[in-house]
Structures are given as C-alpha cells and as structure tokens.
Chains A and B, each alone.
Chain A
Amino acid sequence: MTDIINIALLFAAIRAATPLIFAALGGLFSERSGVINIALEGLMLAGAFTAAVVTFQTGNPYLGMFLGIVAGGVLALVYAVACLKFEADQVVAGMAINFLMIGLPALISGVLYDSTGSTPQIDKAFKLPMIGNQLSYASILAFAIVPLTWYILYRTPFGLRLRATGENPQAADSAGVNVTKLRYVAVIISGLLAAAGGAYLSIGQSSLFTKQMTAGRGFIALAALILAKWKPVPVLIACMFFGFMEALTIAIQGKYKMPSGEPIPIQFIEMIPYVLTIIVLAGFIGASRAPKALGIPYKKEN
C-alpha cells in the first residue's frame, strides 16, 4: 500500500479537491446567509458547460472561465429569485436547477455540435495553464480563496452581516441589514464560485464538457461544507479529504487485486466517496450546527 502514497498522489488529491473547494466555499456564502444551496451541482454544470463551449469557440480559456463564472452567477440569480422572491422550497427549487442543467447543456450541445453527450475536445494549448505539469493555476486560486473567504466572513462588515442574517435575520433586520438583498448577493456569490469549480473541471482537469460531468461533486461539496461546520478553513480540510479519497481510489485501480487474484471491480471503487459521504454525515452531524435560519424564508414584519 505504501508504494502509492507519494507526491504524485498529493498532487492528484489537490486536483480532485479543487472543484470541491470552489463549490463548497460557494455553498458556504449561501448557507451562512440562511439559504440552502442544493443547486451547487447544477451551478457547477453551468460553469463547466459554458467554459467548455466558449473556450472551444474562441480558444481563450480565460474568457471561457470568466463567462462560465458569469453563467453560474446568472443561474444562481434565477435560483435566488425563486427562493427569495417567491419563497419556493429551497431544496425543491435547488433540485429543479440541477435537473435544468442536466437537460439544457445537452440540448444546446446537440444544436451546436450535433452531439448531446459532449462538446468537442479543446486543444491542449487552450486549456487553463498549468504550473509544471502537475497543478493548474486554478488550484492555486481555489486555495487562495480560502483565507480570503475567512477574511471576508470574520473581518469585514459584509461578513458580519452575512453571519447575522443566517443566524438571526430578525435581529439583523432591526440592526439595519437588508436581509433579502444580502441573501441575493450571497446566493449569487455561491453561483460564481461553484461555476468556477465547474469550469476547472471542463477546461482545466478535462478538455471537454460531458453530460453530467460533475458526477455528484456538488453534493459531495455540500457534504464537505456540513462536515466543516460551515467554516472556511475546515472546508479546505474536508475537501482535501474527499479529494484524497478520490485520488486514492484512482491510484488503487488496477494496481491492487482482490484476494482471489481478480482486479477490484470498478463499481466498488466508484462507491467509496459516496459511502464515505454517508458515514461522514451520520458521524459528524451531531457535532455540526447549521446556521439557525438555514432554509427559512424571511418575512419582514410591519
């Protein structure tokens, strides 16, 4: 077992953790303001698809990443309007956003490229740049956003208002915070960040968009957020943990055999992160406390 624990594995873990860090930090903004964000998966897909299409068309990954992030913001605005203006059930509306992003990219991709399954391959020269050949600058960015998020959350008036809104919107309101506006901003930030994670998947880690390419990462990011008790630095640790597991499962594949001498079936390797998520949620949720007003629409009293 020790022969696969090496520096390459660490890099693989960082690569796997990158989209999770973006998405989980996105979820952090939304949930600390009191809005559940189960739509992370769909927001990631919006970023991934837009980035892949724009990069393929223009050959400019920066423009791709930027417009991917914008697409996430726009979709998050739709989600925010449903949750905040129409007071839709946040979990239900979030799933609708996820379903929309299963269909819409495939539909558009079918029109543009005659293929609903994936967009065309992007030339290696047009992918997000790498440092050496192990890490993408996007990974550095993801790590850099962690202390930035911490600073915003705990050292700025915006962060204070955000936390107050998520814990006690009535009190925040009487202290002069515009609760609804703040929640809009928080949800849109979550869309921007989640989409950045998605864009990294399609034009950083991979070189094309495939249907549902996030494969549950939005939900794993959410699990990491819960595990991290909605705090930025623990989010990084939780995401690294999941990233490490993903990297490990890939490293094990083909390298180790079952006692019977047959290769370990791929299905069991695929299952590991999902089983882990369940165990982690069951084991840690007791010690984890959600923002008090999470999921509760706020109505201003007259």
Chain B
Amino acid sequence: MNIFREILWPLLAVIAAFVVGGIIILLIGDNPVTAYSLLLSNSFGSIRDIGWTLHYSTPLIFTGLAVAVAFRCGLLNIGAEGQLYVAAFATAFIGIKFGGSVVDIFGKQEDWSWASLPAILLIPLCMLTAIVVGGVWGAIPGILKAKFGSHEVINTIMLNFIGIALVGYFTQYFYKVPGDPIQRTAEIGKAAHIPKLNEFLPFIPVDVPLNVAFLIALIMCVLVYVFLWKTKWGYELRAVGENPSAAEYGGISPKKQIIIAMTLSGALAGMVAVGEVQGTRHHYETGFSADWGFLGIAVALLGRNHPFGVLVAALFFGVLLRGEIFVDAFTRYVSKDLGWVLQAIIILFVACFQMYSKRKGGVVKG
C-alpha cells in the first residue's frame, strides 16, 4: 500500500506530462501517436536499443543520486552540471598526465604525460579524481551556505557558469591538440579506459557504448541507500533535511550536514566522468553533457529522492534521450527540445502532486 502510494503520483505526473506533451505535438502539427511510438520502439525494440537506452540512463543515475542526496538534506543542487564538467576535465587531465599520452602535433610526436601508470593504478586514480574534484566543486556552495547563509541555488548556478568556463579555458589553451577543430582535450592513456560491457557480454552489439560505469551506477544506488537509511551519518543528514531546528536541538549540526551533503552530491555528479571520459569518449570535450546535471533534478524528483526510485526514473529518462533522437529525425516539426518541455512539465506536476501525497490519511485541508 505504501509502495503503491509512493509510485502513484510520479506515475500520474509522467502520464500528465505525456498528455500535455501530446497536445503540444498536435498543436505544432505532428501526430503524437507517431511521435510516441517512435520514442518507444527505438528505445526498447531490440537488444541494441535497450543497450543504448541503458547507456543514456547511466549519467542520469549518477546525477539523479547526486540531486537526491542533497534534497534529502533539504538542499537543491542545481550545480550537478558544473560539478560533472569540472570532474570530467580533471579525470581527462589525470588520464593524460599519468597515462603516457603521446600527442601527434602536425605529424610530430610529443609526450604530454608525466608518467605511464598501469591500468590497475590508473583506472582507480582517474575514478578517485572524478569523485574528489566533483566533491570539491559541490562542497563550495555547501560551505558558502553553511558559513554565510547564501542560497545554494544561486551559488550552484553561478558555479556552473564558472566551472564550465574554467575548464573550457584549460582545454582551449593547454590540453587541446593544436590543429584539432573540436574543443576537446588530447586522448587519455589506454590504461585509463574502463571496459565496455560487450567485452564480457558478447550478446550486446559491439556498437553499443554501454560500459562498466553502468554497473558502478547500480552499485552506487545500493550504497546511497545503505548510507542514507542504514548509517548514523545518513540519519543525521536526513534529520537536517526533515527539520533543521529539531535536528540541531537533537545535537546534530545542520551546517556540517549541509557541507557533507553537498560534497557527496558533487562527488556523485562527478562520477559521470567515469562513464563518459574513461568509458565512452576517452577525452574531455566542451559541451559533452546533454544537460545531465539538470535532468538529474527531474530524475530525483520523479524518483522521490529514493535511490531505487532514481534508478527507475533514470531509466525512464534514458528512454526519452534515446527515443527523442528518432522523434527529432523522423517527424516533421518535433525537435529534441520537446525533452526539455516534458521534463519541465514532469517536475511541475511532481511538485504540485506532492501536496496530495503529503496530505494522506485524512489530514484536514486548511
């Protein structure tokens, strides 16, 4: 019964969003049934499609968890985008500097690395970099909130702009291969690469980039669940989110918890770099994120800030991200921007329905 109630409102929000989205599609002159069937058939139609859908879900699991952990402490982290950008650049930096990267500059070989570590060291080192750098970038608004009381929403938005500009600067001026028309760093060393799932699950087609990061994301769902509900630290973090003054009265420092929550949140967002830099791209590229940091907010809300809810919601958005490419391509008018609209409507409905799920069990309306 409890589970049912938890699922009911998010489900209604999704249905409502699709109805409103359908009306919009109709209004701009396309057929919503065609659009939605394109969406579904291209994300579930075959093992290849499912593999791609899971691949698109992976960064959203991380950012969804990131936003959810902050939410549980009463904070809205709109900075996951900046956190994952900064972390991705740092991961690429370590992958280049310790991966023995040799760069071809107009036919001349140049060694950009300081060392050439074996995979057994470099893979975890890169992962650690992603976590630490993401965590640091997340900690900044946490500290600002704890020390000065400045609102984390505005600060995380500002840090998004700053972080993305900062790593853009380093990419353009220092780590881009001269002559490369694309704003991206040099390739990281092979030893930093994490394997694709197709390497041990041969039934997955070879062109599907789904990699080990997906499994790490699943593990993180479990770890975040254990942390939040089975440890003292998680309890304290949630206590601050539920009622900061009551928590403080009970001997928990809200300021400390705010910093911890934002650090963990940033670290989780930073883990997007593991899949994207070490798994898929093998470099950092300006604009590589498909707004995953922002989508994470919708994922967390739809998943009711619960790690397993986040997983389901991330898979749902994975379907949207995979399917919208085909909807964009095979309909006359609908563009990928419909994704933003659906996302906004889902967030709005979930936020509005919260009133009903809170008021269960005959709480009198005022």
On A, residues with C-beta under 8 Å from B are 38, 82, 86-89, 91-93, 95-100, 102-104, 106-108, 110-111, 116, 216, 219, 222-223, 226, 265, 267-268, 270-271, 274-275, 277-278, 281-283, 285-286, 299-302
Could you tell me the dominant secondary structure of chain A's interface residues? helix
Taken together as a complex, chains A and B put the C-alpha atoms of A288 and B172 apart, in Å, by 40
In the complex, which residues of chain A have a beta carbon less than 8 angstroms from the beta carbon of B149? 285-286
Taken together as a complex, chains A and B put the C-alpha atoms of A86 and B356 apart, in Å, by 9
Complex: chain A residue closest to B298, CB-CB: A99
Q: Taking A216-B161, A267-B172, A274-B158 as given, write out 4 further A-B residue pairs in contact, using a Cβ cutoff of 8 Å, ordered by the A residue number.
A: A89-B351, A108-B28, A111-B333, A274-B159
A219 partner, pick from B154, B333, B335, beta carbons under 8 A:
B154
B169 touches A268 (CB 8 A): yes
Taken together as a complex, chains A and B put the C-alpha atoms of A98 and B297 apart, in Å, by 13
B144 partner, pick from A38, A104, A282, beta carbons under 8 A:
A282
A91 touches B352 (CB 8 A): no
Taken together as a complex, chains A and B put the C-alpha atoms of A25 and B271 apart, in Å, by 40
12 A-B pairs in the complex with CB atoms less than 8 angstroms apart:
A86-B352, A93-B351, A96-B348, A102-B340, A103-B339, A107-B337, A111-B28, A116-B335, A265-B173, A267-B168, A281-B155, A282-B147
Taken together as a complex, chains A and B put the C-alpha atoms of A223 and B157 apart, in Å, by 11
Task: Tell yes or no: B166 within 8 A of A by CB.
Answer: yes
Taken together as a complex, chains A and B put the C-alpha atoms of A268 and B337 apart, in Å, by 30
Known: A88-B354, A107-B24, A107-B341. A270 touches B161 (CB 8 A): yes
B162 touches A281 (CB 8 A): no
CB of A245 to closest CB in B, whole Å: 13
CB of A164 to closest CB in B, whole Å: 20
Contact with A along B328-366 (1 / 0, CB 8 A): 000001111111110111011001111100000000001
In the complex, which residues of chain B have a beta carbon less than 8 angstroms from the beta carbon of A278? 144, 150, 155, 158-159, 162
CB of B301 to closest CB in A, whole Å: 7
CB of A107 to closest CB in B, whole Å: 4
B148 partner, pick from A95, A216, A271, A286, beta carbons under 8 A:
A286
B337 touches A103 (CB 8 A): yes
In the complex, which residues of chain A have a beta carbon less than 8 angstroms from the beta carbon of B173? 265
Known: A102-B340, A103-B337. A95 touches B150 (CB 8 A): no
Taken together as a complex, chains A and B put the C-alpha atoms of A103 and B198 apart, in Å, by 35
Task: Tell yes or no: B102 within 8 A of A by CB.
Answer: no
B366 touches A111 (CB 8 A): no
Taken together as a complex, chains A and B put the C-alpha atoms of A94 and B62 apart, in Å, by 23
B150 touches A282 (CB 8 A): yes
A96 touches B155 (CB 8 A): no
B347 touches A267 (CB 8 A): no
In the complex, which residues of chain A have a beta carbon less than 8 angstroms from the beta carbon of B76? 91-92, 95
Known: A282-B144, A286-B149, A299-B366. A99 touches B340 (CB 8 A): yes
Task: Tell yes or no: B294 within 8 A of A by CB.
Answer: yes
B161 touches A87 (CB 8 A): no
B345 touches A107 (CB 8 A): no
Complex: chain B residue closest to A222, CB-CB: B154
Task: Tell yes or no: B153 within 8 A of A by CB.
Answer: yes
Contact with A along B282-308 (1 / 0, CB 8 A): 000000000000100110010000000
Query: Which interface residue of A38, A283, A299 has the most chain B CB atoms within 10 A?
Result: A38
Interface size on B, residues (CB 8 A): 49
Task: Tell yes or no: B165 within 8 A of A by CB.
Answer: yes
B347 partner, pick from A95, A106, A110, A299, beta carbons under 8 A:
A95
Taken together as a complex, chains A and B put the C-alpha atoms of A102 and B343 apart, in Å, by 11
B354 partner, pick from A89, A107, A271, beta carbons under 8 A:
A89
A96 partner, pick from B168, B169, B335, B347, beta carbons under 8 A:
B347
Task: Tell yes or no: B29 within 8 A of A by CB.
Answer: yes
Complex: chain B residue closest to A98, CB-CB: B344
In the complex, which residues of chain A have a beta carbon less than 8 angstroms from the beta carbon of B28? 107-108, 111
Task: Tell yes or no: B50 within 8 A of A by CB.
Answer: no
B165 touches A270 (CB 8 A): yes
In the complex, which residues of chain B have a beta carbon less than 8 angstroms from the beta carbon of A286? 148-149
In the complex, which residues of chain A have a beta carbon less than 8 angstroms from the beta carbon of B161? 216, 270-271, 274
B153 touches A38 (CB 8 A): yes
Known: A274-B158, A277-B158, A281-B154. A87 touches B338 (CB 8 A): no
Contact with A along B226-263 (1 / 0, CB 8 A): 00000000000000000000000000000000000000
In the complex, which residues of chain B have a beta carbon less than 8 angstroms from the beta carbon of A285? 148-150
In the complex, which residues of chain A have a beta carbon less than 8 angstroms from the beta carbon of B159? 274, 278
Query: Which interface residue of B168, B352, B353 has the most chain A CB atoms within 10 A?
Result: B352
In the complex, which residues of chain B have a beta carbon less than 8 angstroms from the beta carbon of A270? 161, 165
Taken together as a complex, chains A and B put the C-alpha atoms of A95 and B148 apart, in Å, by 23
B148 touches A281 (CB 8 A): yes
B168 touches A281 (CB 8 A): no
Taken together as a complex, chains A and B put the C-alpha atoms of A268 and B148 apart, in Å, by 25
B169 touches A88 (CB 8 A): no
Contact with A along B177-220 (1 / 0, CB 8 A): 00000000000000000000000000000000000000000000
B162 partner, pick from A96, A104, A275, A299, beta carbons under 8 A:
A275
Closest 3 A-B residue pairs measured CB to CB? Answer: A103-B340, A100-B344, A299-B366
Task: Tell yes or no: B78 within 8 A of A by CB.
Answer: yes
Known: A92-B351, A108-B28. A103 touches B344 (CB 8 A): yes
In the complex, which residues of chain A have a beta carbon less than 8 angstroms from the beta carbon of B168? 267
Complex: chain B residue closest to A299, CB-CB: B366
In the complex, which residues of chain A have a beta carbon less than 8 angstroms from the beta carbon of B78? 95
Taken together as a complex, chains A and B put the C-alpha atoms of A86 and B162 apart, in Å, by 35
Query: Which interface residue of A95, A108, A301 has the most chain B CB atoms within 10 A?
Result: A95
CB of B23 to closest CB in A, whole Å: 13
Complex: chain B residue closest to A103, CB-CB: B340
In the complex, which residues of chain B have a beta carbon less than 8 angstroms from the beta carbon of A99? 294, 298, 340, 343-344, 347
